[in-house]
Amino acid sequence: MQILDGKALSQKIEEEVKKGVKEFKISTGSVPGLAVVLVGHDAASQAYVSMKKKACDRVGFYSVTHEMPEDISQEAIENTITMMNKNPNIDGILIQLPLPAQIDTTKILELVDPSKDVDGFHPYNVGRLTTGLDGFVPCTPLGVMELLKEYNIDVKGKNCVVVGASNIVGKPMASLLLNANATVEICHIFTDDLTKHTLGADILFVGVGVINLIKENMVKQDAIIIDIGINRTESGKLVGDVDYENVSQKCSYITPVPGGVGPMTIAMLLSNSLKAAKINAKEKIK
Ligand code: NAD
């Protein structure tokens, strides 16, 4: 069994982005700018935003976090987004999800300028992804594809089973795999007999949020396992959705948690933001 080392690859990508930022600064006189909207005091969201901010600092981005109270109005968030859409120093806008219940999340995501939508959540970019056109792709599944590429794992013609069908993980993961000519199956909470599906996977992608959902008897010998889940055990340990100890004995490759898909997500956010800055710089010249 070989580990798919997302930590190592993410550091390599970060170095490339850092170099790209220096070149960007020489050619434009400015640095890429990322704005984050963080609403409320959810500990996990705060931790993610802090990690993203540190990563921005490491590669030399300008970054700003708009922290807003839990009881913020729809209008106030919309005004902030409109302001960031117009701000020439901001190339990427990231709305940390989930937003509080009183907020219409769809409306908020639709308001982000698609050319600054570095998370790839705007329906315009979702449409481009499903039609196989270039655009912004959600960072987590994009990171998974980069990790597979790094280890020369070609998904073409492979049976790929994606467990979890959210808009930010499962669905874009499936689209990327389909675009890369894999045979794709998507499973979710209503899937009957999950094992029947997972056993057929040459490559199994799991992004659900349930500790030990995938057990040894659910995977084929020598399958490739991509564990996207991030869960915290009662003792505070970070684990994925796969029973790592036992499944790792049976598979050919596996992503660890932590150190697998997680760091790749942040690396792809940096890479998407640099891409946005380059696009926006070209627009400014026009
Ligand atoms: P979500 O709650 O929006 O979606 C979960 C999906 O799993 C749904 O499609 C649901 O139908 C499915 N599901 C739930 N229980 C199931 C079961 N028993 N069997 C089969 N399918 C089931 O969650 P999300 O935002 O997509 O996140 C999923 C997991 O991925 C979480 O653990 C989250 O922390 C993690 N995540 C990791 C990263 C990363 O950087 N590695 C990024 C985003 C999310």
Question: If you take atom 39 of ligand 1, which residue's CA is the nearest one?
Answer: 262
pTM of the prediction?
0.97
What pLDDT digit, counting tens, does each position of 239-269 carry?
A: 999 999 999 999 999 999 999 999 999 999 9
Q: How far is the CA of 149 from the centre of ligand 1 (A)?
A: 23
Instruction: Note whether 70 and 100 are within 8 A (CB).
Output: yes
In this prediction, residue 71 carries a pLDDT of 97
Percentage of residues in the chain having pLDDT higher than 70: 99
Q: How far is the CA of 261 from the centre of ligand 1 (A)?
A: 13
Query: Which band of pLDDT confidence, cut at 50, 70 and 90, is reported for residue 79?
Result: very high
In this prediction, residue 285 carries a pLDDT of 64
- The dihedral of CA 13, 14, 20, 23: what is its sign? negative
**C-beta 223 within 6 A of ligand 1:** no
**C-beta 210 within 6 A of ligand 1:** yes
What pLDDT digit, counting tens, does each position of 165-214 carry?
A: 999 999 999 999 999 999 999 999 999 999 999 999 999 999 999 999 99
Q: Which of 122, 124, 113, 120 is nearest to 145 (CA)?
A: 120
Establish whether 275 is a catalytic residue.
no
In this prediction, residue 282 carries a pLDDT of 77
Q: How far is the CA of 235 from the centre of ligand 1 (A)?
A: 21
Distances (CA, A) of 86 to 79, 125, 254: 11, 19, 43
Question: If you take atom 14 of ligand 1, which residue's CA is the nearest one?
Answer: 189
Instruction: Note whether 115 and 276 are within 8 A (CB).
Output: yes
- Looking from the CA of residue 260, the nearest atom of ligand 1 is 41
Question: If you take atom 15 of ligand 1, which residue's CA is the nearest one?
Answer: 189
Q: Is the pLDDT of residue 286 over 90?
A: no
In this prediction, residue 283 carries a pLDDT of 74
Instruction: Note whether 63 and 87 are within 8 A (CB).
Output: no
Domains, in order of start, for the chain: 29-116 (3.40.50.10860), 139-262 (3.40.50.720)
Q: Which of 260, 253, 263, 226 is nearest to 242 (CA)?
A: 226
Establish whether 52 is a catalytic residue.
yes
Percentage of residues in the chain having pLDDT higher than 90: 98
Q: Which residue is catalytic, options 91, 113, 117, 119?
A: 119
Strand 238-239, strand 231-232: pairing: antiparallel
Mutational test site, ligand 1, from 208, 261, 269, max ligand atoms within 8 Å of CB:
208
Establish whether 74 is a catalytic residue.
no
Q: Is the pLDDT of residue 19 over 70?
A: yes
CB neighbours of residue 45 within 10 Å: 16
